[in-house]
A = this chain, B = another copy of it.
Amino acid sequence: MAIRYPNGKKYTPPNSEVKKRSIKDYSYSNRGKTLEDEIDEANDFYLQRQIAVIHKKPVPIQIVKVEYPSRSAAVIREAYFRTPSTTDYNGIYEGYHIDFDAKETESKTSFPLKNVHPHQVEHMTVVAKQRGICFLLIRFSSMERYFVVPLEMLQNAWTRMLTGGRKSISLVEFEEQAIEVKPTYSPRIDYLQAVRKMLP
């Protein structure tokens, strides 16, 4: 698991990758942005142009102790991170309910399924039964490649793992069965381009 800071953002080494890039590459680079930053950027773009309304849910917190200083805002003094029971992102796109989670891996060959929690698969399964559009958005960070993985592809890999098969999805499987999102200019990760191909 990647190191995660309390703001939910993944720790990213300071621009180590950016320095290696040529000037040509640089204009399309993510400049050390987290996947969350990139999705936020896309969602802002979609919201401003009224293309879709998709938000990240707040991180769930168990609050234990709060102080109420006079004449200033309440301060939480003791709280703990809780495990989310759903996915991180949902919203609506042209009448379709959208529900997904975003994951990153440093691997260049496969996506380890240990990055996905069983309750997330369960949640997306019940949402899909209600005709929601469910998927994972996966970044292979070291290669800057992005894929939208339809729930069905995830479910097949999940079942394979539970029945003793491999515990990851290979890059070849991504290339054959997932929908690649090629970085563009604005928004950089226009993932709804891929989602469009999943619609009934």
Contact = CB atoms under 8 A, between A and B. Distances in A.
Interface string A60-104: 110100100000011111111100111000111111110100000
B95 A131 contact: yes
A165 interface: no
A61 B79 CA distance: 11
Contacts of A18: none
B92 A95 contact: no
Interface in A148-166: none
B97 A95 contact: yes
A6 interface: yes
A53 interface: yes
Contact of A130 (B78, B94, B129): B94
Interface of A: 6-7, 47, 50, 52-53, 55, 57-61, 63, 66, 73-81, 84-86, 90-97, 99, 123, 126-127, 129-132
